[in-house]
Structure 1
Amino acid sequence: MFTDFLYLLRRNGLKVSLTEWMALVEGLDKNLHNASFTGFYHLCRCLLVKSEADFDAFDRTFLEYFKDVPFQQEVSQELLDWLNKPEVLTDYANWDEIQALKNMGLSEEEIEQMLKERMEEQKEEHNGGSYWVGTHGMSVFGNAGLSPRGIRVGGQSMYRRAFRVAGERKFRDFRRDNTLDTRQFQVALRHLRQYSGLVDLPPTEFDVDSTIKDTAGNGGVLKVRYKRPRENTVKVLLLMDSGGSMDYYAQLCSALFQAVSKSGHFKDLKVYYFHNCVYGRLYQDPTLLSRNSVPTDWVLSNLPGDYKLILVGDAQMAPYELMGGYYGRSGREDGPRCGMDWLRLLKGRFRHTVWLNPSPRPDWGPYWSQTYDTIAQEYPMFPLTVDGLEESMKKLLSR
């Protein structure tokens, strides 16, 4: 039964054994799927998928094989086609202050109920208004709109104000080209190791090879040998953007911080925070309070150049913040340098540097991509994904 489905799963990289397949057949025979297609899907995923990383591949294979089975999705394809408007709103002509206040007063439950009602009522494409599911308007549903909150339907994230994405696929975060959780961070950070045996420590680590060799040379009489432990010599300076557009990635950056803090295998770790770009002061916690800050010059003067510098941020800000002035979290800071000057000073001080970016390059206009492109020309920039983090660790270790 469904033998072709088994072969398709295997062709798409899912290692399903015959034992697991027979367990599925037995489960169906015992009606563990409650005679429903949805129950069959969950039973298959429970018995045939070994890792969360394979959930997305399984979903795609399942949909490919059972594509002709009627499926009631949350958002109709016709509605998604109406909302496929890649052109970007270039001004705030559709902004309505009164409507924005009304939208802010709606609860998530009210917006969810309103979306259900609109999808039943809507029979044609609508854009620029405040009632229907559309684009570029003040409605709490749709995409590329100006409402301060709502549900994104179709399109791409722009202003990051939606509290949910209708019809969003699950388990994508477990793919290797998607964002990370703390455990995945810790695994990827293990690549950042440089060991040295020339440390001034007593020989306390059991030396297997020398023990075997000397025992054999001693006629089989055991001779236990020890050696000096090897030590990871990597020192890391981690600078993280905090606040503003980075609030959208707060959970992801928290996972990175936890993974770095708990890794325990760096010789030294220094963590500081900045807002948008590095200026004259670096902060010791994400609140960016002046009383918990140190001069950036102090960091440049006191940390040797063999620290591995990792900056984390979306590289998105007003161009003047990067090139035109010296502004900090709460206004102008002392010093004649702009943000780009400070970034170049850091790059000149620390020989190995990378920039980890949780956000893709902005594609909704040249104004928004200016600072992203400028920083990417100065720093090797990698996406904050499993593959991106592993590649950045290799870059830090390259000579």
Structure 2
Amino acid sequence: MFGDFLYLLRRNGLKVSLTEWMSLMEAMDKGLHGSSFTGFYYLCRCLLVKSEADFDRFDRCFLEYFKDVPLEQEVSQELMDWLNRPDVLNDYANWDEEQALKNMGLSEEEIERMLKERMQEQNEEHNGGSYWVGTHGMSTFGNSGLSPKGIRVGGESRYHRAFRVAGERKFRDFRRDNTLDTRQFQVALRRLRQYSGLVDLPPTEFDVDNTIQDTADSGGMLKVRYKRPRENTVKVLLLMDSGGSMDYYSQLCSALFQAVSKSGHFKDLKVFYFHNCVYTRLYNTPHLMSRDSVTTQWVLSNLPGDWKVILVGDAQMAPYELLGGYYGRSGDPDGPQCGLDWLQRIRERYKSSIWLNPSSRPDWGQYWSQTYDTIATVFPMFPLTVEGLEEGMKKLLAR
């Protein structure tokens, strides 16, 4: 069954063994795919893909082979017709701070369960509210609303705050949208070799350019020139925003992370993660588990000021997450009291620091652009593109 699919996977570099393929056949025989096409997709990916790095390659093969299979309708067409009407409301809903905090406290599992319940209960159109599936409200389901967390149903992406899109075909051709990849970032980083330090050693490295020039000047008589060796002297601290609206840019950030990790242009590299803004702790993995973290103060105390700091994030959050509330309080009356205080501490400690942003400045209201503009006054901010990376590195490594 699906023998051609197996060969397609292998032709595209996925090393699927016969044992793994037979395991898939056995799992299907036991009904582990739940008689669902989407279930079959996840079952295949679980059993046939050995590394997350191959997910995109697998998705492209899956789409190519099953392109004619109709997509299962997760959301009724009637509901989608209600939600795909941008003219329903022209004005934005009012921001509800209490509802926003309540929505942020919901887990993704709770929101998924609530969506299923609402779709069973709902029998008419709703807009501007906080309970039903609708538009322009504070509900965690729908589109064009202001909830800081939720599932987009219909409409178009505007604020990039949804953790999932209902009805979206997960197995799509990611490469069609992928204008940047790891290799492009690596090429950009390789151009920075000229910014590496020249060590104070005798000239022992063959100097091609000056050898050619001197040989030409001497009428073809070979004149070999040497130069001082270039050595990696740059130490980099990479701090990456994880989760929430940054999930939309996960592939782009993954490409940057891989390029930086594989680069040989840094003497030392340390990577930590945060969510929305740096607070009292930094995390060793993007899962942001407290048991796998260090205090931000430990990083500031143990990494000297000559480290170069790159922060990556969209700089978009509710203003209280950056400027006040209980976020970022250090417990020390004289210490940082909010996220902005921690960012300023980092900037003061590390004079060579920049912010790479995968998103453009929000244009849907002052509320959401406030944190973007505030952070841009603390760090030089560059777009997360190849050109932006090059400009950012020049700024970061300027003598």
State the TM-score, normalizing by the size of structure 1.
0.58
Shift of 1:311: 0.8
Greater alpha carbon shift after TM alignment, 373-382 vs 159-168: 159-168
* Partner AA of 2:235 in structure 1: K
> Matched residues in 2 for 1:157 and 1:174: separation?
19
1:103 aligned to which of 108, 115, 118: 115
Q: Are residues 388 and 210 of structure 1, via their aligned partners in 2, closer, same or farther at CA, if it must alter by over 3 Å?
A: closer
Aligned length: 302
* Alpha-carbon distance between aligned partners in 2 of 1:165 and 1:144, rounded to the nearest angstrom: 18
Tell me the amino acid that sits aligned with residue 342 of structure 2: W
Aligned to 2:13: none
Q: Which residue of 2 aligns with 1:277?
A: 277
2:154 is paired with a residue whose SS is: strand
Q: How far did 1:81 drift?
A: 5.6
Q: Which residue of 1 aligns with 2:392?
A: 392
Aligned residue type for 1:153: G
Q: Which has the larger radius of gyration?
A: 1
Amino acid aligned to 2:161: Y
Offset of 1:355 from its aligned partner? 0.9
Residue aligned with 2:285, SS: coil
State the distance in 2 between where 1:204 and 1:229 align. Answer: 5
Tell whether 2:348 aligns with 1:343: no
How far has the Cα of 1:260 moved from its partner? Answer: 0.5
- Give distance in 2, aligned partners of 1:268 and 1:391: 21
Partner of 2:266: 266
- Tell me which of 163, 174, 197 is aligned to 2:165: 163
With over 3 angstroms needed to count, the CA separation of the structure-2 counterparts of 1:166 and 1:202, relative to structure 1, is same
- Label 1:205 to 1:270 Cα distance change in 2 as closer, same or farther (>3 A): farther
**Corresponding position: 1:152 with 2:164:** no
Find out whether 1:87 has 2:92 as its counterpart: yes
Alignment correspondent of 2:367: 367
Pairwise CA distance, 1:251: 2.9
Q: For 1:231-283, what per-residue CA distance to the aligned partner results, in whole angstroms no more than 9, with x for missing partners? A: 34333221112234433433332222111101122222222222332233333
CA distance in 2, matches of 1:340, 1:140: 31
Is 1:322 aligned to 2:327, yes or no? no
| Equivalent position SS for 2:162 | coil
User: For 1:252 and 1:225, how far apart are their aligned partners in 2?
Assistant: 42
Residue 185 of structure 1: aligned partner: 185
1:244 and 1:132 mapped to 2: Cα distance? 20
Following superposition of structure 1 onto structure 2, how do residues 128-277 of structure 1 map, counting pairs within 5 Å?
136=137, 143-144=144-145, 148-154=150-156, 156-157=158-159, 159-163=161-165, 173=177, 180-193=180-193, 194-200=195-201, 203-205=204-206, 207=208, 209-210=210-211, 213=214, 226-277=226-277
Give the aligned partner of residue 13 of structure 1.
none
CA distance in 1, matches of 2:318, 2:188: 32
Amino acid at match of 1:381: M
What letter matches 1:305 in structure 2? G
1:382–1:389 Cα contact (<8 Å) kept:
yes
- What is the identity, as a one-letter code, of the residue corresponding to 2:196? Y
**Correspondence 1:293-332 to 2 at 5 A:** 293-324=293-324, 327=327
Q: Distance in 2 between matches of 1:262 and 1:99?
A: 38
Counterpart AA for 1:304 = P
| Separation in 2, partners of 1:253, 1:274 | 13
d(CA) in 1 for partners of 2:258, 2:138: 39
Q: Which has the higher contact order (CA 8 A, sep 6+)?
A: 1
Whether the 8 Å CA contact 1:132–1:141 is kept in 2: the answer is: yes
* Structure 2 unaligned spans of 5+: 1-79
The answer as to whether partners of 2:242 and 2:276 remain within 8 angstroms in 1 is yes
* Cα distance, 1:213–1:99 mapped onto 2, change above 3 Å: closer
- Whether contact under 8 Å (1:83, 1:143) holds in the other structure is no
Which residue type is aligned with residue 305 of structure 2? G
Using structure 2 for the length normalisation, give the TM-score. 0.58
SS in 1 for 2:258: helix
Q: How far apart are residue 215 of structure 1 and its match?
A: 11
Measured on the aligned residues, the alpha-carbon RMSD in Å equals 4.8
Give the Cα separation in 2 of the matches to 1:369 and 1:134. 21
1:289 aligns with 2:294: no
How far apart are 1:365 and its partner, in Å? 4.0
For residues 221 and 154 of structure 1, do their structure 2 counterparts lie closer, same or farther at Cα, with a shift above 3 Å needed? closer
How far apart, CA to CA, are the structure 2 residues paired with 1:290 and 1:139?
27
- In 2, Cα distance between the equivalents of 1:337 and 1:131? 40
Q: Letter of the aligned partner of 1:103 in structure 2?
A: L
Q: Tell me, which stretches of 5 or more residues in structure 1 are unaligned?
A: 1-74, 111-117
Aligned to 1:209, the other structure's residue is in SS state: helix
Closer/same/farther in 2, CA of residues 348 and 150 from structure 1, 3 Å limit: closer
Deviates more, 1:297-306 or 1:307-316: 297-306
Please tell me whether the aligned partners of residues 111 and 150 of structure 2 are also in contact (alpha carbons under 8 angstroms): no
Whole-angstrom CA distance in 2 between matches of 1:293 and 1:166: 34
For residues 77-116 of structure 1, the C-alpha deviation after alignment (integer angstroms, 9 at most, x for no partner) is xx666368463453469x9999974534699xx9xxxxxx
